[in-house]
Structure 1
Amino acid sequence: MFSSLFLLARIFLAWSAALVLAGFVWSGLFYGMNRGPGWLFGLLAMLAMVTALLGALTHLRRVWLIAGRLDGATLSSRQQRRIEVPLDADEAFAMVAAAVRELPRSEEVEEGRDSLQVRAKVRRADAGGRKPSRWNLLARLAVERNQVLATVAPGDGTSSVTLLCEPDAPHWVDLFALDEGSNYENAEALMRAIARRVAERRRDERDAAHRKDTDSALAIARLNLLQAQVEPHFLYNTLANAQVLARTDPPRAEQMLGHLIQYLRRSLPREQDGPSTLGEELERVGAYLEILKIRMGSRLAVQVHVPEELKSVPLPSMMLQTLVENAIKHGLEPKPGGGSIWILARRMDDQVTVTVADDGLGFGGNSSGTGIGLKNLRERLRLTYGERASFALVSNFPSGAAATLTLPAPAPAVPAPPPLPQEEPRHV
């Protein structure tokens, strides 16, 4: 209430002072109020005062309808706002510029990306989209537009946005004419637009994080499914071979089942543990190859060249066996005289290569495989390492094939510094 009365008193005093000054000018022109059309000046002065007071009342009514309250902050024709945006300066500037451009009746929008400032002119209009009310005489004649200045101040991960909405006129105009709440409305509209865009940005980030978590969970599920598709494949083949040997050669069947038990002992706990290592996979493959030696006899020769320091390199479970099984099934087993299989590993800079090569039939042999094993291997490799790992399958010389896994090498362990020698206490 006090703010409203103060505003009316300010308008009344400003116009009274202006009319007194105009009266002196009128008296100078017509040699006194009693001479000439003095009554005309009085009529014009009364009309101007009534118009000014009606404009002030219109301003009060409009601000009350827009803000729901009347105080010094809402009644001012020049509005300032400050908001913290959780974005860097460039993103905050783009967001503020878009909000200013979408402000109703905005025009002449100027963007200074280097200075992080946005300027715009906003045509005045009442709630119906028309020009200012007919009671706001000076606003109709002189102040037809407002102006907006938005400044972005960069910070550490956040930005501070300062909004200034004011009439496109000098400050002294505020003594005689009011903006009917248009600048308060513009400031609040910009605040709502920026808040809405920040909320949309946060919602998009939450959705992206949720999708990432979902994709990660799906990737883990797919990895488990792919591994489950690989392990039963070997178990079924081994049990089928043992069943045949049990009828034809029971001692060899018993030996094969013993190696199968060793294989299971090394394999089954890995389903609950963390990632496997190259050394553990070599033990698993060793048990697998011992089973195959029983079946193939002298037709299978195995050579393993893996440095001891590389046996701790992480390797997805069953991946090495997939390569060995592929070499046996498609290269050596169909070959009448059998052949050799090599397992090699070496480190090159920040990568480790694991190669399984054979001198079997190679790509020229007739293969009845579907390729699902290598397809699963590539998929597991992609899900585990992304672009940091690769798989290559090439012809071996003079015959056979060579499959190579290229994996990221773990950082070398830093040796602990030797303990400092302790000096024996001296007795004085």
Structure 2
Amino acid sequence: MLKAFLFVLRISAAWFLALLVASSIWYELPLLGRLQWPVAIIGTLTMALVVTGAVSHLGRVRLVAGRVDSDALSNRQRRQIEIPLEAGEAFDLVDAAIRELPRIEHVESARDSLQVRAKVGRPNLYGELPLGRWNPLAWFGERRNQILATVTPTADAGSVTLICEPENPAWSDWFLVDNATNYENAEAVARAISRRIAQHRRGEKDAVAQTRTEKELTVAKLNLLHAQVEPHFLYNTLASAQLLTRSDPARADEMLGHLIQYLRRSLPATDEGMSTLGAELERAIAYLEILKIRMGSRLAVQVDIPEALRATPMPPMMLQTLVENAIKHGLEPRTTGGTVWLRARRSDDTVSVTVADDGEGFNAKTSGTGIGLKNVRERLRLMYAGEAALSVVANFPSGVAATLNVPADGPAATREARHA
């Protein structure tokens, strides 16, 4: 109550002093200065309207803000809003929030300086002022508000300074009230920003959920690959071993040993799903050794993978997919067969693993965009979030070279868990 009383007293005192000065000037006028009743009538009517306007302002501030204090009563409102977005995104969000205000008349948006200026029409909350243009509260000053929003870049965020004020000089606050319209504008912009941040976060959560779903689906497909060996490969291997038991038992025993090694490495992992380059290499070599027994001199294998790189984290079955592609699309169609090269090198924090062949190369059926390679690229995207890639190029003088480029320390999630 004290703050309300002091507010009305301040407005009334300012107008009383202004009327006192005006009456002094009136009394100095020749002839007119003798007439005192116009001054008394005008002064009394003016003070009545001023007190009524101040009390009306108090009531509306209490209605809108739910409290009456110096901040809520002020014609000029300031807000400091922290937005957890990069400064450019924060600016776009603030600009859109201001443009949503009702009665917005003019917006100046400067993205380079991260500032937004706007003019906002002030509504006639209770119709026209009493006495219209003869009301002293309408004698000077524009009945319009303005907004200034400035975004200050901070670390991974944007700090917004929002100022809502009348389109009048500061001295006019001693005589005029805004009926809480600037308080409303400041709160409306703050609410719009909060709503847009919440919408942005919902979008991020939906994207994360979608990515998680895709990743779970990919893992499920991978587990299915782990759980089953290609029937034709298994059947042909066992059939070949059966024939060799009659003619060459030693080679049959060797083939079955490689098959056991291949099957052991193909069982589903019990950890989070990452394998190593060494483990994947053992599976690939076991697969190729089986094929060497079946294909004979038609297949040659050269391996150049340093021991130091064999501990590199590697998604399971990825190297195997590239090796199977090299055999199926590169060498098997050729009556003369060919060579498969397995090579790995490290450059800075990236390990490059290449599977190359000198087979058929690219043609209408094998253009490097098959289902197997598509799945490899999709798994790399989900597991490495852009840190890994697969490139497939023509080998010289013939064949195809497929190269996996992966971080030497594994995916970002694995690195963060390791350092946590």
How far did 1:316 drift? 5.1
Give the conservation status (yes or no) of the 8 Å contact 2:151–2:161: yes
SS of residue paired to 2:164: strand
Relative to structure 1, is the Cα distance of residues 21 and 201 closer, same or farther in structure 2, using a 3 angstrom cutoff?
Answer: same
**Which position in structure 1 is the counterpart of 2:19?**
19
Relative to structure 1, is the Cα distance of residues 112 and 6 closer, same or farther in structure 2, using a 3 angstrom cutoff?
Answer: same
Q: Over residues 185-216 of structure 1, what are the superposed CA-to-partner deviations in whole Å (9 max), with x where a residue is unaligned?
A: 12222222222222223333333333333333
Distance 1:331 1:74 in 2: 78
**Which position in structure 2 is the counterpart of 1:64?**
62
SS of residue paired to 2:28: helix
Aligned residue identity for 1:260: L
**Which position in structure 2 is the counterpart of 1:419?**
none
Distance 2:160 2:369 in 1: 57
**Which position in structure 1 is the counterpart of 2:94?**
96
Distance 1:39 1:196 in 2: 58
How far did 1:364 drift? 12
Residues matched between the structures, number: 397
Give the conservation status (yes or no) of the 8 Å contact 1:332–1:340: yes
With normalisation by structure 2, the TM-score equals 0.76
Give the conservation status (yes or no) of the 8 Å contact 1:392–1:405: yes
When Rg is computed on C-alpha atoms for both structures, the one with the higher figure is 1
Relative to structure 1, is the Cα distance of residues 7 and 405 closer, same or farther in structure 2, using a 3 angstrom cutoff?
Answer: same
Give the conservation status (yes or no) of the 8 Å contact 1:356–1:403: yes
Distance 1:207 1:90 in 2: 22
Aligned residue identity for 2:13: L
Relative to structure 1, is the Cα distance of residues 217 and 162 closer, same or farther in structure 2, using a 3 angstrom cutoff?
Answer: same
Give the conservation status (yes or no) of the 8 Å contact 2:90–2:158: yes
**Which position in structure 2 is the counterpart of 1:379?**
375
1:172 and 2:171 aligned: yes
**Which position in structure 1 is the counterpart of 2:2?**
2
**Which position in structure 2 is the counterpart of 1:126?**
124
**Which position in structure 2 is the counterpart of 1:417?**
none
Relative to structure 1, is the Cα distance of residues 238 and 3 closer, same or farther in structure 2, using a 3 angstrom cutoff?
Answer: same
**Which position in structure 1 is the counterpart of 2:300?**
302
Aligned residue identity for 2:191: R
Give the conservation status (yes or no) of the 8 Å contact 1:347–1:409: no
SS of residue paired to 1:125: coil
Q: Over residues 316-345 of structure 1, what are the superposed CA-to-partner deviations in whole Å (9 max), with x where a residue is unaligned?
A: 545555566566667766777x65544353
Aligned residue identity for 1:98: A
Distance 2:157 2:333 in 1: 66
Give the conservation status (yes or no) of the 8 Å contact 2:351–2:408: no
**Which position in structure 1 is the counterpart of 2:42?**
44
Distance 1:67 1:223 in 2: 58
How far did 1:8 drift? 1.9
Relative to structure 1, is the Cα distance of residues 278 and 393 closer, same or farther in structure 2, using a 3 angstrom cutoff?
Answer: farther
**Which position in structure 2 is the counterpart of 1:408?**
405
| Structure 1 spans left out of the alignment, 5+ residues | 413-428
How far did 1:217 drift? 2.9
Distance 2:378 2:99 in 1: 45
Aligned residue identity for 1:238: T
How far did 1:171 drift? 2.8
- Larger mean CA deviation between 82-91 and 64-73 belongs to 82-91
How far did 1:3 drift? 1.4
| Structure 2 spans left out of the alignment, 5+ residues | 410-420
Q: Over residues 84-103 of structure 1, what are the superposed CA-to-partner deviations in whole Å (9 max), with x where a residue is unaligned?
A: 22233333333222222222
How far did 1:2 drift? 0.8
Relative to structure 1, is the Cα distance of residues 226 and 148 closer, same or farther in structure 2, using a 3 angstrom cutoff?
Answer: same
Give the conservation status (yes or no) of the 8 Å contact 2:226–2:268: no
Distance 2:316 2:369 in 1: 13
**Which position in structure 2 is the counterpart of 1:209?**
208
Distance 1:403 1:48 in 2: 93
Distance 1:100 1:64 in 2: 24
1:194 and 2:190 aligned: no
Give the conservation status (yes or no) of the 8 Å contact 1:59–1:178: yes
Q: CA RMSD in A?
A: 4.1
Give the conservation status (yes or no) of the 8 Å contact 1:301–1:341: yes
- Larger mean CA deviation between 70-79 and 215-224 belongs to 215-224
Distance 2:327 2:217 in 1: 32
How far did 1:266 drift? 4.8
Give the conservation status (yes or no) of the 8 Å contact 2:377–2:389: no
Matches within 5 A, 1:18-417: 18-31=18-31, 35-36=34-35, 38-127=36-125, 137-143=135-141, 144-228=143-227, 231-242=230-241, 251=249, 256-268=255-267, 275-276=274-275, 279-292=278-291, 295=294, 300=298, 302-306=300-304, 308-309=306-307, 312=310, 317-318=316-317, 339-345=337-343, 347=345, 352=352, 354-357=354-357, 362=360, 375-384=371-380, 388-392=389-393, 402-408=399-405
Aligned residue identity for 1:391: V
With normalisation by structure 1, the TM-score equals 0.75
Aligned residue identity for 1:306: D
Give the conservation status (yes or no) of the 8 Å contact 1:352–1:407: yes
Distance 2:287 2:326 in 1: 13
Give the conservation status (yes or no) of the 8 Å contact 2:262–2:287: yes
